[in-house]
Amino acid sequence: MSSSSRVAAPSAPPAGWAELVRDDPNATPAHRSELWDAWCAADPTLVPTLLTVERDGELIGGTPVVCERRGGLTWLHALPWVLSGAPLAQPGRHAEVDEEIARQLASLQRERHVVGGAWALYRPDGPPPDPGVIERLSGHTRTVETALVDLDGGLDGARRRIDRKTRQNLAQAQRTLAIAEEPEALAAAYALHVRQAQAWRARRPLPLEVSRRLLAAGGRPPCTRLFTARDRHGLLAAVLVLDHPREAMLWWSGTHVDGRARSAFTALAWGIVEWAAAAGRARVNLGASPMLGGVAAFKESLGARIVSYPVRWLDARHAPLAGRVAGWLQEQVRRGRPRGEPA
């Protein structure tokens, strides 16, 4: 088998990649090239790389990664913000592709003297990655959980899984709130997100410029959507959704203090589920809720199932002295931030 690692222009991935993104049931919004383009346009320190595995000239699998260069040092992200870098593959080839991608990532980690980063292997339809393969990269593995609303059985099936109290709150909220897709409300939505994030221990809001670029990125379907919940007085809640024909993912959100008592976020989240079902999505990813037990319980009350997956946090073992110092300092700054449970 021949394999390759290529630095691909985000707008021109190799032949066969679009088919993998379309056909692999594990494909997520993070595998779409429009997202890499937007991230790297917003932050010039980020450079996209597409790792591929080929046999006899045919692409059988691959995954995007992003290298971050700061102060002459390199971080390796698969992907940034712990979005999924789980390799996509042709049917029955995931184990083969995982092993080759792990080899390529380990080579990059050594050759580029990587300071840190992460490899997130969210694969909701399996097969699970082999722990031994993941451990080819130096670092430590943590387990992260995310909440999925399955839509394969249709919207009615998903609605039946909502618990009784949440269904009652939802019905009451829907009578007074309007749910809409509203990309022009980004500034107001982001302000809600920042205020909410300030109350969460060890969490930082995502950069506004990244969201601006994502909403402008387009694609068919658009790779990013902004949904809002309003009453007659104004904006109560907003969610930025990363979109793929198989999965819609709630990436960041914000809720006004007045909206919390009125179940505005409940109504908005369910409105997104309704939109996703009508648009033919197979699932809605409500996102991870590390160290936020109340949020996790809320997601389960919406009928979501919990999916666990490994994240390999890379260490600075192969970095020069300056990189090892930078890696140690970064670990001190991040101490207490949610990074998953020990595997």
Express each pLDDT in 142-191 by its tens digit: 999 999 999 998 999 999 999 999 899 889 989 999 999 999 999 999 99
Domain boundaries, the chain: 3-145+308-342, 147-306
Output the pLDDT for position 69: 94
Express each pLDDT in 187-218 by its tens digit: 999 999 998 877 665 567 888 999 999 999 87
Mean pLDDT of the chain: 89
Rounded to two decimals, what is the model's pTM?
A: 0.91
Output the pLDDT for position 288: 78
Output the pLDDT for position 291: 46
With bands split at pLDDT 50, 70 and 90, how would you rate the model's confidence at 138?
very high
Output the pLDDT for position 4: 54
Phi, psi dihedral angles at 183 (to 5 degrees): -60, -25
Output the pLDDT for position 7: 45
Q: Which amino acid is at 241?
A: V
Q: Check residues 12 and 139 and name the one with the higher pLDDT.
A: 139
| 119 bridge partner residues | 78, 312
Output the pLDDT for position 290: 52
Q: Which of 71, 52, 68 is nearest to 117 (CA)?
A: 68
Output the pLDDT for position 321: 94
What is the second-level CATH architecture of the domain 147-306?
Answer: 3-Layer(aba) Sandwich (3.40)
Output the pLDDT for position 340: 63
Output the pLDDT for position 243: 97
Hey, do 3-145+308-342 and 147-306 end up sharing a CATH topology, with the first three levels equal? yes
* CB contact set of 321 (below 8 Å; sequence gap of 6+): none
Output the pLDDT for position 289: 62
Output the pLDDT for position 202: 53
Phi, psi dihedral angles at 99 (to 5 degrees): -65, -40
Express each pLDDT in 274-305 by its tens digit: 999 999 999 999 987 654 445 667 788 888 99
Q: What is the 3-state secondary structure (H, E, C) of the chain?
A: CCEEEECCCCCCCCCCHHHHHHHCCCCCHHHCHHHHHHHHHHCCCEEEEEEEEEECCEEEEEEEEEEEEECCEEEEEECHHHCCCCCEECCCCHHHHHHHHHHHHHHHHHHCCCCEEEEECCCCCCCCCCHHHHCCCCEEEEEEEEEEEECCCHHHHHHHCCCHHHHHHHHHHHCCCEEEECHHHHHHHHHHHHHHHCCCCCCCCCCHHHHHHHHHCCCCCCCEEEEEEEECCEEEEEEEEEECCCEEEEEEEEECHHHHCCCHHHHHHHHHHHHHHHCCCCEEEEECCCCCHHHHHHHHHCCCEEEEEEEEEECCCCCCHHHHHHHHHHHHHHCCCCCCEEC
> Taking the CA atoms of the chain, what radius of gyration do you get in angstroms?
20
Output the pLDDT for position 9: 47
Contact status, residue 255 vs residue 265, Cβ threshold 8 Å: yes
Q: Cα–Cα distances in Å, from 297 out to 2, 227, 338, 340?
A: 46, 22, 17, 17
| Fold of the domain built from segment(s) 3-145+308-342 | Aminopeptidase (3.40.630)
